[in-house]
């Protein structure tokens, strides 16, 4: 059985090996097999997962792969939700499995099965009698683990980004359609109090016809990237081999929901450019002594990547990524239309015709547009922590969908499209900003269900039912 240090070394070597393979595969995929990757495979073209509900169940039996920092946080949320049973834990480090097992028994549940016998022991977890498998591991393992879960008859819930290449995107879509099991991306930012409030305002027509959005992940991660533990063991390595937007979904997910992506619109194409690389290499030189192996590393990912996405309906999205410059945190999170605009950090609103010329505070809108999920779970969510409570709301909502047999808010097509900007931006940057087409992961069905799907907002209980969409996705939430 490997020690903690040996396990970390194995994980690091494996990540570098798989990342290198992925980089080579990307060149082949985008330059040689581009047409195939845009069209997808026809084998399951009539087996869409759009609008497919979960099977209702009294209790959710759950397994978790990866119980480091992120997985442990997710586990604490799940243990606080009624009728959720954590039946299995997997991690490369045995001590982490034991710690997680103890957390489960401390919560009053039976000790879950533990798996820590090498990199592929997760396959044994996916063969158990489970309803869903949570995956909170380094990015390069997301797809193999999700595929194993679905092929063994389990739904998959994958941390962000869900996949790293276009081929991986299609692998998730094809497998979900073939197995009839959902693969959802655990995009917690879609469940933030502000994001859900703004979504309600968009649906109610406060901003008129939406024409533009802005999304980003701007977060100084230099100390985390260069740490000798946690994400520092793997998250820095893509910066050595890929130049593009490495982490698009936190900003893009909420804006995609504002724009009804896959529910009336879809991403069409994107262009992308990167700045020069300076900050991460400068940080390493300033903070690590001569002889430290990190000083020999060469980073190719530009400090700031800026992309523009055009949708089928002609709308635009500014998408940025910067995790190496000293700056305040921001996801931009902005939306604008014919009647007004919202901008975040700090949250503020401008509505056409208002008397003052400056932005107004969102407090005036919170009573009317606070989402029902936050009204019913917000107090506990904030106590749980987890990015201001959005983590708990996300987990509570997913477990509720599973128990009640509802259609998931986020589907495999979202997981693929929100993750696709990584390989598309990389190719665009390499081709001097040349436009890159988004594959239509829905195979033409992105507009078919626009009148029947929503995002946890259209409820019979909600006092306004959000304007013209009042009859869609009815009774999603229990009445207070």
Residues 204 and 319 in one domain: yes
Cβ atoms of 399 and 446 within 8 Å: the answer is no
d(CA 405, CA 392): 20
Residues 321 and 346 in one domain: yes
Residues 271 and 133 in one domain: no
In a domain, 471, yes or no: no
In a domain, 467, yes or no: no
In a domain, 395, yes or no: no
pTM over 0.85: yes
Q: How far is CA 336 from the centre of its chain?
A: 23
Q: Which residues form the domain of 305? A: 190-371+411-443
104: CATH: 3.40.50.720
Residue that terminates a domain, selected from 140, 173, 188? 188
The number of folded domains in the chain is 2
In a domain, 376, yes or no: no
Residues 198 and 163 in one domain: no
d(CA 193, CA 362): 12
Phi and psi for 234 in degrees, rounded to 5? -150, -30
Residues 306 and 365 in one domain: yes
Residues 280 and 175 in one domain: no
What pLDDT does 470 receive?
Answer: 35
Residues 83 and 171 in one domain: yes
The yes-or-no verdict on residue 200 having pLDDT over 70 is: yes
Residues 157 and 182 in one domain: yes
More confident residue, 115 or 39: 115
Q: Which of 29-33, 50-54, 209-213 has the lowest mean pLDDT?
A: 29-33
Residues 183 and 257 in one domain: no
Cβ atoms of 112 and 89 within 8 Å: the answer is yes
In a domain, 351, yes or no: yes
- The residue-averaged pLDDT of 16-29 equals 41
Sign of CA dihedral 47, 49, 51, 54: positive
Band of residue 454 on the pLDDT scale cut at 50, 70, 90: very low
281: CATH: 3.30.360.10
d(CA 165, CA 242): 11
In a domain, 133, yes or no: yes
d(CA 180, CA 55): 11
What pLDDT does 355 receive?
Answer: 86
Residue that terminates a domain, selected from 172, 188, 204? 188
- The residue-averaged pLDDT of 461-479 equals 34
> The tokens of 8 are what?
């970390």
What pLDDT does 10 receive?
Answer: 46
Which string of DSSP letters, residue by residue, matches 177-213? Answer: HHHT--EEE--GGGG-HHHHHHHHHHHTTTT-SEEEE
What pLDDT does 41 receive?
Answer: 62
Phi and psi for 188 in degrees, rounded to 5? -65, -30
Q: From 150, 159, 151, 111, select the one nearest 132 (Cα to Cα).
A: 150
Residues 207 and 105 in one domain: no
The yes-or-no verdict on residue 26 having pLDDT over 60 is: no
- The residue-averaged pLDDT of 422-437 equals 98
| 292-301 pLDDT per residue, tens | 999 999 999 9
Three-class SS state of 308: strand
Conformation bin of residue 111: beta by default, left when phi > 0, alpha when psi is -120 to 50: beta
What pLDDT does 44 receive?
Answer: 53
Residues 48 and 94 in one domain: yes
The yes-or-no verdict on residue 340 having pLDDT over 70 is: yes
The yes-or-no verdict on residue 15 having pLDDT over 90 is: no
Cβ atoms of 321 and 304 within 8 Å: the answer is yes
In a domain, 260, yes or no: yes
d(CA 470, CA 464): 8
Residues 173 and 246 in one domain: no
What pLDDT does 37 receive?
Answer: 79
- The residue-averaged pLDDT of 439-451 equals 82
Residue with tokens 């016809």: 209
Sign of CA dihedral 125, 131, 136, 139: positive
In a domain, 465, yes or no: no
């Amino acid at each position: 059985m490997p020690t903690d240090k040996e396990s970390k070394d194995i994980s690091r070597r494996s990540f570098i090996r798989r990342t290198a393979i992925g980089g080579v595969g990307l060149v082949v995929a985008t330059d040689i097999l581009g047409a195939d990757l845009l069209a997808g495979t026809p084998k399951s073209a009539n087996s869409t997962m759009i609008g497919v509900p979960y099977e209702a169940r009294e209790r959710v039996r759950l397994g978790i792969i990866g119980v480091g920092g992120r997985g442990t946080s997710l586990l604490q949320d799940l243990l606080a939700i009624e009728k959720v049973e954590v039946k299995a834990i997997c991690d490369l480090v045995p001590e982490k499995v034991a710690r997680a097992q103890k957390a489960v028994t401390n919560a009053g549940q039976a000790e879950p099965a533990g798996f820590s016998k090498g990199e592929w022991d997760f396959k044994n977890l996916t063969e158990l009698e489970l309803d869903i498998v949570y995956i909170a591991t380094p990015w390069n393992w997301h797809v193999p683990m999700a595929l194993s879960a679905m092929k063994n008859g389990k739904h998959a819930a994958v941390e962000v980004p869900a996949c790293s290449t276009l081929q991986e995107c299609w692998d998730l879509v094809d497998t979900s359609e073939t197995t009839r099991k959902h693969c959802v991306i655990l995009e917690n930012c879609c469940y933030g109090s502000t994001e859900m409030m703004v979504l309600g305002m968009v649906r109610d027509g406060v901003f008129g016809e939406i024409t533009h959005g802005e999304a980003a992940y701007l977060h100084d991660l230099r100390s985390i990237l260069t740490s000798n533990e946690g994400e520092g063991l793997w998250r820095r390595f893509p910066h050595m081999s890929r130049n593009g937007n490495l982490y698009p979904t936190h900003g893009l997910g909420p804006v995609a929901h504002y724009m009804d992506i896959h529910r009336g619109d879809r991403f069409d194409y994107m262009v992308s450019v990167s700045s020069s690389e300076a900050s991460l290499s400068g940080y390493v030189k300033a903070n690590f002594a001569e002889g430290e192996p990190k000083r020999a590393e060469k980073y190719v990912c530009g400090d700031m990547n800026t992309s523009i996405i055009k949708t089928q309906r002609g709308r635009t999205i500014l998408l940025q990524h910067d995790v190496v410059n000293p700056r305040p945190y921001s996801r931009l999170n902005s939306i604008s239309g014919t009647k007004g605009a919202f901008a975040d950090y700090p949250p503020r609103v401008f509505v056409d015709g208002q008397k003052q010329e400056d932005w107004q505070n969102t407090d005036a809108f919170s009573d009317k547009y606070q989402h029902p999920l936050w009204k019913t779970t917000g107090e506990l969510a904030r106590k749980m922590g987890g990015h201001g409570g959005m983590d708990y709301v996300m987990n509570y909502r997913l477990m509720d969908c599973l128990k009640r047999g509802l259609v998931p808010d986020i589907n495999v097509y979202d997981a693929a499209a929100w993750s696709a900007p990584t390989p598309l931006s990389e190719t665009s940057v390499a081709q001097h900003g040349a436009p890159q087409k988004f594959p239509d992961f829905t195979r033409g069905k992105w507009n078919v269900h626009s009148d029947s799907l929503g995002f946890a907002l259209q409820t019979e209980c909600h006092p306004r039912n959000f304007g013209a969409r009042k009859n869609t996705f009815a009774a999603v939430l229990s009445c207070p």
